[in-house]
Amino acid sequence: MRTASVKLEHTSYDIRVGPGLLDKTGEWLRELGFGGRLAVITDSTVRRLHGDALEQSLSAAGFTVAMLGGPESEAEKTLETAARLYQELTDFRAERATPILAMGGGVIGDVAGFVAATYLRGVPLVHLPTTLLAQADSSLGGKTAVDHRQLKNRIGAFYQPRLTVSDTDTLKTLPREQLSDGLAEVIKHGAIRDEAYFSYLEDNLDRILALDDECLETTVARSVEIKARVVEEDERDLGLRNVLNYGHTIGHAIETVSDFQMMHGTAVAIGMLAAARISNRIGFLGAAAVTRLSRLIERAGLKTGMPRLDAGQVLRAMQHDKKIVDGRVRFVLLRAIGDVFITDEVDPSLVEEVLTD
Ligand SMILES: NC(=O)c1ccc[n+]([C@@H]2O[C@H](COP(=O)([O-])OP(=O)(O)OC[C@H]3O[C@@H](n4cnc5c(N)ncnc54)[C@H](O)[C@@H]3O)[C@@H](O)[C@H]2O)c1
Ligand SMILES: [Zn+2]
C-alpha cells in the first residue's frame, strides 16, 4: 500500500492506494473516530461487483450501513438525484456525524460528494473510487457537482473528503475502454509535471493494461501525488490548477461538438495531442516529444486520429468554455514533457490547422 496525503489550509487527509483495501475500510473508519450509522452511495454495477467486500468490512467493524442507489450514469448526475438521496438520508435518520461513502466512478463521486457537502450543511465524506479516472483524478481536489440541464458541473461545491481509499483490485473489473479512458488523465499528469513518470508509463504500459498489482498501485499513487501537489497550491482553482487542464481546452470543445458521444479520455487525448502540436508549431516542444506523446496515447488504447468534426465548430465551442477569461482562450502548452506553461496567445487559425491535420 502507498499513502499520499493532501495538506490544505483547513484540513488534510490521506489517500491510501493498493490492492485489497476495501477490506480494511471499516477498521480505518473506526480509527478516524466514526461509529454507528453510515451511508454508502453507489451504483448497481459497482454494488454487484464490489458491494459485498465493502459491506463485510463495514459490518465487521460494527457499522450499521444503508446502501443508497446513486446516479447510474451521467444522465442522472442531477439535482433530482441529489434530492432523492437527501430524502433517503433523512429516512435513514442520518445526522451531522453520519459519514457518506462514495463508492464508484466519477459520477458517483461528484454526486455523493455534492450531497455530503450540502446535506445538513455538510457531513463527513469518504471517497472509495473504483474507476481509474476516479482513483487517479476525480476523487481528489474537492470538486463536487451535478449537471444543470445541458451544462456539465454547473452546480457544485468544493468539499474535501476525510479519507480516500483507492482499492486497485476494483480496477480489475473495469471494461477495457474505461481503463483507457482513465489512462488519458494519467498520461496527462506525466506530461505536465513529471518526465520520469512519463517514462515509467512508457516502460510499463503493457503491465498496467495487464492489471499488474504493483503497476496499478504505482500508477495511481504517482498520479495522485502529482495532482495533490497542484491542488495544495491552488485549492479553489484560482490559477495553478489550470495546468491540470492540459488537453481539456480543445478536449471539452470536442466533447461538446460530439454531443458527449465521445468518451472524455478520448477527447482529452485528442486535445493533448493538438496542444502538443501547437506547442511544437510555436517553437517549443520538439517533434520527438510529440511523437512520444502520440505513441503512448495510442498504446493506451486511445485514438489519436482527429474525428470527423468541423474544426470551426470546435473553435466556437472553445470560445464558450466556462473557463474563458475576457473572451481569450487560455491554452495549456508544453515546453517539454513534464514542463507546462499557459498562454492566451495562440492564433485560432493554428488551432484549426492542427485539428484538420
Ligand atoms: N470532480 C472532479 O474533479 C472530476 C474530474 C474529472 C471528471 N469528473 C467527473 O467524473 C465523471 C466520469 O467519471 P468516470 O469516468 O469514472 O465514469 P462513471 O462514473 O460514469 O463510471 C463509468 C461506468 O463504470 C462503471 N464502473 C465503475 N467502477 C467500476 C468497476 N470497478 N468495475 C466495473 N465497472 C465499473 C460504472 O457503473 C459506470 O457505468 C464525469 O461526470 C466527470 O464530470 C470529475
Ligand atoms: Zn479530465
Q: State in Å: Cα 21 to ligand 1 middle.
A: 19
Q: Quote the pLDDT of residue 209.
A: 98
Expressed in angstroms and rounded, the spacing between residue 104 Cα and the centre of ligand 1 is 7
- Grid cell at residue 167: 482499492
pLDDT, position 258: 87
Distance 106 CA to ligand 1 centre (A): 4
Give SS3 for 40.
Answer: strand
Q: Note the pLDDT of residue 325.
A: 66
Task: Give distance in angstroms: CA of 281 to centre of ligand 1.
Answer: 34
In angstroms, rounded to a whole number, what is the distance separating the alpha carbons of residues 328 and 331?
9
**SS3 call for 71:** coil
CA distances from 261 to 267, 308, 313, 322 (A): 10, 13, 16, 20
Supply the residue whose CA is at minimum distance from atom 22 of ligand 1: 105
Go through 271-294 and write b for each residue having 16 or more CB atoms within 10 A of its CB, e for each that does not: bbbbbbbbbbeeebbeeebbebbb
Residues with CB under 6 Å of ligand 1 are 43, 45-46, 49, 73-74, 77, 104-108, 110, 130-131, 133-134, 137-138, 141, 143, 153, 170, 173-174, 178, 181
Dihedral sign from CA coordinates of 199, 203, 204, 209: positive
State which of 73, 107, 140, 302 you would mutate to test the pocket of ligand 1, scoring each by most atoms of that ligand within 8 A of its C-beta. 107
Q: What is the mean pLDDT of each run of 10 residues along the chain (357 residues)?
A: 94 97 98 97 98 98 98 96 98 98 98 98 98 97 93 94 98 97 98 98 98 98 96 87 93 89 92 96 96 97 77 84 73 96 90 83
pLDDT at position 261: 85
* Closest ligand by atom to 271 CA: 2
The torsion angles phi and psi of 174, rounded to 5 degrees, stand at -70, 140
CA distance linking residue 329 with residue 340, whole number of Å: 16
Confidence (pLDDT) at 26: 98
Q: 107 CA to middle of ligand 1, Å?
A: 5
Residue 255 carries which side chain, given as an amino acid letter? Answer: E
